[in-house]
């Protein structure tokens, strides 16, 4: 009897890469002419998994946000893993905004993933385990089919495949 193989579907954000992207944004803001004399900042709160953006006005805020998105994309961080809050405009015209980093697969998305796998007819079984989905089956080819199925669909969070054994 063949041993059962499995893999996990997870959604994780590499905080070190986010930190590197934030540092690149800070360096670019210091060197760009359109940010001269401004007090635009981006900070990463690792404990709360949040990014905090603040800028002098809406125009600089839009530019700062665009730079941040570009740097995160270059670092391999999916923009799906960010949830931006509403912009807060101060009396002096300054703009503040925070963005939360999504860690783990939400329950609704996990249910949708398991339903898609189950409805596909692939001979594997998927189960939700906390904030990840474990897919197990006897045939490794069937597991590969499940990976390709999930990769081919769009979900609300970026997905990675780990612990393939």
For the cut 70, the answer to whether the pLDDT of residue 2 exceeds it is no
pLDDT digits (tens, 9 = 90+) for 39-68: 899 999 999 999 999 999 999 999 999 999
Instruction: Say yes or no: 97 and 123 in one domain.
Output: no
- Are residues 5 and 137 in contact, defined by beta-carbon separation less than 8 angstroms? yes
For the cut 90, the answer to whether the pLDDT of residue 23 exceeds it is yes
86-90, 135-139, 161-165: least confidently modelled range: 161-165
pLDDT digits (tens, 9 = 90+) for 69-115: 999 999 999 999 999 999 999 899 899 999 999 989 999 999 999 99
Instruction: Say yes or no: 78 and 19 in one domain.
Output: yes
Instruction: Say yes or no: 94 and 114 in one domain.
Output: no
Instruction: Say yes or no: 23 and 76 in one domain.
Output: yes
Instruction: Say yes or no: 120 and 60 in one domain.
Output: no
The average confidence (pLDDT) of the chain is 91
Instruction: Say yes or no: 78 and 140 in one domain.
Output: no
Instruction: Say yes or no: 148 and 86 in one domain.
Output: no
Please give the full DSSP string across 115-163, using - where no structure is assigned: HHHHHHT-S-EEEEETTEEEEEES-HHHHHHHHHHHHTS--SS--EEE-
- The arithmetic mean of pLDDT across residues 124-132, rounded, is 90
pLDDT of residue 73: 94
Which of 84, 101, 118 is at the close of a domain?
101
pTM (predicted TM-score): 0.83
In whole angstroms, give the CA distance from residue 46 to residue 39.
22
- The pLDDT-based confidence of 1 (bands split at 50, 70, 90) is very low
């Amino acid at each position: 009897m063949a041993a059962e193989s499995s893999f996990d579907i997870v959604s994780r954000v590499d905080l070190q890469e986010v930190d590197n992207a934030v540092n690149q944004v800070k360096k670019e803001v210091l060197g760009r002419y359109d940010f001269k004399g401004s007090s635009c900042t981006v900070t990463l709160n690792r404990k709360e998994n949040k990014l905090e953006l603040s800028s002098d006005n809406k125009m600089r805020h839009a530019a700062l946000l665009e730079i941040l998105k570009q740097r995160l994309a270059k670092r391999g961080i999916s923009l799906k893993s960010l949830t931006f809050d509403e912009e807060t405009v101060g009396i002096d015209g300054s703009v503040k905004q925070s963005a939360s980093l999504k860690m783990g697969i939400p329950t609704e998305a996990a249910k949708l993933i398991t339903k898609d796998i189950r409805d596909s007819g692939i001979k594997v079984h998927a189960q939700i385990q906390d904030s990840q989905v474990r897919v197990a089956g006897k045939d490794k080819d069937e597991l590969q089919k499940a990976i390709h199925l999930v990769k081919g669909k769009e979900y609300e969070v970026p997905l990675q495949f780990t612990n393939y054994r």
